Amino acid sequence: MGQDDGVREISEAEFQAFVLEAPVPVLVDFHATWCGPCAWLDPVLEELARGAEGRYRVVKVDTDAAPELSGRYRVGSVPTVVCFRDGREVDRSVGVEPHRLRAMLEEE
């Protein structure tokens, strides 16, 4: 993922490299294009991504385009944001919880 200057939309095929093999924590926003509350999170995710400075990544996965991946991680509603560290899920937020997203990245 070259630069950490924004949120990147990734596919199921990219998930392994961008999330599970990432050398830093990764926030994954499981979203859908038709989801209004998902759009509410976009400015928060962009702000987090711009402030990452290489300490973490922020990516988005469209649940409609990645149903197998969404099923594997038990995404039952959108938005669901999952924090991964060292290839494992360590925390998740369901719904619109901007302050929770920041806290998930601060936890060690």
Question: Would you list the DSSP string of 7-55?
Answer: -EE--HHHHIIIIIT-SS-EEEEEE-TT-HHHHHHHHHHHHHHHT-TTS
What pTM value is reported for the model?
A: 0.92
Residue 86 resides in a domain: yes
Active site residue 38: yes
CATH code for position 98: 3.40.30.10
Tell me, yes or no, whether 89 lies in a domain.
Answer: yes
Asked if residue 2 is part of any domain, the answer here is no
Tell me what pLDDT residue 106 has.
81
In order along its 108 residues, the chain shows pLDDT tens digits of 444 468 999 999 999 999 999 999 999 999 999 999 999 999 999 999 999 999 999 999 999 999 999 999 999 999 999 999 999 999 999 999 998 998 998 865
Return contacts of 95-104, CB within 8 angstroms, 24+ apart: 95/37, 96/37, 96/40, 96/41, 98/41, 98/44, 101/27, 101/41, 101/44, 101/45, 101/48, 102/48, 104/27
Q: Per the domain annotation, does 53 fall within a domain?
A: yes
**From 1, 24, 35, 96, the catalytic residue:** 35
Q: Which domain holds residue 68?
A: 8-106
Domain count, the chain: 1
> What local confidence, expressed as pLDDT, does residue 81 receive?
97
Considering the domain boundaries, does residue 3 fall inside one?
Answer: no
Active site includes 83?
no
What is the structure's pLDDT at 5? Answer: 67
Establish if 82 belongs to a structural domain: yes
